[in-house]
Amino acid sequence: MNKIIYALAAFILMAGCSGEVSSGPAEVIDTFTKAVASGRFDEAEALCDSPAMSEYIETYRQVMEKRAASDSTATAIAAEILGKLEITVTEVSKGKGNRTIFYTIEDTYGHKKEKIATMKNEEGEWKVTEIRDRD
């Protein structure tokens, strides 16, 4: 079972949230990432604004549902571990009405993945429009 938990955690970490969101883009990306990782997909989707992000979230939803069907205990444990990811924003690039957030995701095992999120301000709220791996 440990292998299943580790494999699910690694998948979510390599593919690339909790409480109320502050209004800043860094807080939104932290909340979004933790929501996706722990399976709170509706919460994550509320922080997005693009068809591509809906597809991104749906991919995670399908993987989690498939894993849960084969081993619900391992999936629940993995979601708990992944809900405790550490998100470190390393840079914020400002544009007119948008932000590019450079950040690192680290799991409890010390595995890290660098990501880039593009966000836009929509009526005073920051929304994720794209996430990609940092080269």
What residues does each domain of the chain span?
2-133
Cβ neighbours of residue 42 closer than 8 Å, sequence gap 6 or more: none
Secondary structure letter of residue 41 according to DSSP: H
Compare 1 and 65 and report the one with higher pLDDT: 65
Taking the alpha carbons at both ends of the chain, their separation in whole angstroms is: 33
CATH of 2-133, one of 1.10.2020.10, 3.40.1190.20, 3.30.70.260, 3.10.450.50: 3.10.450.50
Residue closest to 60 by CA, chosen among 84, 86, 33: 33
Residue closest to 12 by CA, chosen among 38, 45, 47, 37: 37
pLDDT at 108: 80
pLDDT at 18: 36
Cβ neighbours of residue 135 closer than 8 Å, sequence gap 6 or more: none
pLDDT tens-digit profile of 91-129? 999 988 899 999 999 988 888 999 999 999 988 899 999
Strand order in the sheet with 125-133: 86-95, 98-106, 112-122, 125-133
Residue 43 pLDDT > 60, yes or no? Answer: yes
